[in-house]
Amino acid sequence: MDELTHLDLSHNNIGDSGAKSLSKGMRSMDGLAHLDLSHNNIGDSGAESLSEGMRSMDGLTHLDLSHNNIGDSGAKSLSEGMRSMDGLTHLDLSHNNIGDSGAKSLSEGMRSMDGLAHLDLSHNNIGDSGAESLRKVMG
């Protein structure tokens, strides 16, 4: 599937098990630049599975995981997968359940993402300490 550059599976309710299956297939999607998995009820377990698949997707520029019930542990998993995604320019994690510890984990994962131009973390549970962690990485 090297020719596939844009994949939109939004609003499909794939859940944790679907995310795990997709993660296995992501390893063969070298040319994928745009991935929309919004509104899929992926949760923390699904985010962990996706982070494993994301490690081989260094060409991904746009990732939408909004509206997925991802919490702090899912954000931590995603941050580990994002460390190899230095070409990511657009990241949407809005409308999840990410709190301060998740924001701190994400900020650590974003340190290698120099080209990130759009970050949406709206409608989460990020407080003062999470915002401070994000501020530090953004400069």
Give per-residue pLDDT as tens, 20-67.
999 998 888 888 999 999 999 999 999 999 999 998 888 899 999 999
Domain residue limits, the chain: 6-138
**DSSP secondary structure, 59-126, as one string:** T--EEE--SS---HHHHHHHHHHHTT-TT--EEE--SS---HHHHHHHHHHGGG-TT--EEE--SS--
pTM score, two decimals? 0.95
Amino acid, single-letter form, for residue 80? E
Fold of 6-138: 3.80.10
The pLDDT tens digits of the residues spanning 123-133 come to 999 999 999 99
